[in-house]
Amino acid sequence: MTDVLKKTDFKNLGERTEGKVRDIYTQQDKIILVTTDRHSSFDRIIAHIPHKGAVLNLASAFWFKNTEHIIGNQVIAVPDPNVVVAKRAKPFLVEVVVRGYLTGVTDTSIWTNYQKGTRDFGGITLPDGMKKNMPLPKAIITPTTKAGHDENLSLDEVVPRGLATQAEWDEMQRAALALFEFGQLHAAANGLILVDTKYEFGLYEGKVILIDEVHTPDNSRYWQASTYKERLAQGEEPMAFDKEFLRIWFKQNCDPYKDAVLPEAPAEMVEEMSRRYISLFEQLTGEKFVKFEGSITERIEKNLMPYRLG
């Protein structure tokens, strides 16, 4: 049976904190980020997906390496498929969401808000009569807060709220749009559409750097390019690689924002999610994903021996 990494509790690696998907070990000069198989949507864990942590971490490593010409990043080393050793940057408490299409089902998505009558997004005004999954006139930034439940912000709210200086916010916007353009071009060359994504940035030695994860199926939406136009014309959802289909199932079967206990994700959906993550990784990177059989925890512990304190 495939091992699933739900959480970790390694000793002598530094102070441990738990994010939605990552377990974080903080040392004086660096942090160790362990990407688990936890699956987060609606600001909570909704499932555990086999191999997901390794796919996310290795995909991010691929993108970090290939976007260094756009902006510096957090990576010091990738000692294990599920682990990155990172610079200890001070995170900005704003998520820089970049969108290329009118889509989404969450409360912060632009399609949800478009249906409610909102037309101004990220500095542009959309016309009436647009349909779900249509391309936007240009890529837009729709920032959200990182404190607790995501909250939409306008572009001109970030600096007055003290989330960044004007120079820092300008650099984040520049980098985000350049990263998104690079990601879309790379995706298109591999038969995919990068629909939207989010970036997180931190301050390290006085400079804005890219942190967290980049262009993964967890923080990005991808569609298959070959069938997009046909499916859009027929009013069908695009062929997707992201977690949207699982989000939709939860929205149909419960209130994922309010219900204290959620139903268990169907096993076949969990398996399909794992398959999609691996397939997307291979299509994007051109690398073969090797499934690990055995104890993931034991493997990680062994690979992190050089980073133990004392």
Is residue 155 a part of any domain in this protein?
Answer: yes
- Over residues 167-182, the mean pLDDT reads 98
Neighbours of 77 (CB within 10 A): 14
Neighbours of 59 (CB within 10 A): 26
Is residue 1 a part of any domain in this protein?
Answer: no
Based on the fold, state whether residues 105 and 54 are members of the same structural domain. no
Please say whether the dihedral angle defined by the alpha carbons of residues 183, 284, 68 and 154, taken in this order, is positive or negative: positive
Task: Say whether pLDDT at 174 is over 90.
Answer: yes
Based on the fold, state whether residues 23 and 123 are members of the same structural domain. no
Q: Where residue 180 sits, what CATH number does that domain have?
A: 3.30.470.20
Predicted pLDDT at 1: 62
Task: Say whether pLDDT at 292 is over 90.
Answer: yes
Is residue 10 a part of any domain in this protein?
Answer: no
CB-count burial class (<10 Å; 0-12, 13-18, 19+) for 131: exposed
Predicted pLDDT at 218: 86
Based on the fold, state whether residues 97 and 224 are members of the same structural domain. yes
Is residue 8 a part of any domain in this protein?
Answer: no
Specify the length of the chain in residues. 310
Based on the fold, state whether residues 57 and 95 are members of the same structural domain. no
Residue-number span of the structural domain to which 201 is assigned: 91-246
Residues 32-76 have pLDDT tens digits of 999 999 998 888 888 999 999 999 999 999 999 999 999 999 999
Based on the fold, state whether residues 46 and 188 are members of the same structural domain. no
Based on the fold, state whether residues 75 and 129 are members of the same structural domain. no
Is residue 258 a part of any domain in this protein?
Answer: no
Based on the fold, state whether residues 195 and 236 are members of the same structural domain. yes
Based on the fold, state whether residues 78 and 109 are members of the same structural domain. no
Alpha helices in 80-145 (DSSP H): 110-115
Based on the fold, state whether residues 171 and 291 are members of the same structural domain. no
Based on the fold, state whether residues 159 and 272 are members of the same structural domain. no
Based on the fold, state whether residues 81 and 207 are members of the same structural domain. no
Task: Say whether pLDDT at 242 is over 70.
Answer: no
Count of domains forming the chain: 2
Q: Global pTM?
A: 0.91
Predicted pLDDT at 151: 85
Is residue 252 a part of any domain in this protein?
Answer: no
- Over residues 93-100, the mean pLDDT reads 96
Is residue 261 a part of any domain in this protein?
Answer: no
- Nearest of 58, 94, 89 to residue 73 by alpha carbon: 89
Q: Where residue 281 sits, what CATH number does that domain have?
A: 3.30.200.20
Is residue 260 a part of any domain in this protein?
Answer: no
What H or E segment, with its residue span, contains residue 186?
A: helix 166-189
Predicted pLDDT at 34: 98
Task: Say whether pLDDT at 154 is over 70.
Answer: yes
> What is residue 102's three-state secondary structure?
strand
Based on the fold, state whether residues 155 and 281 are members of the same structural domain. no
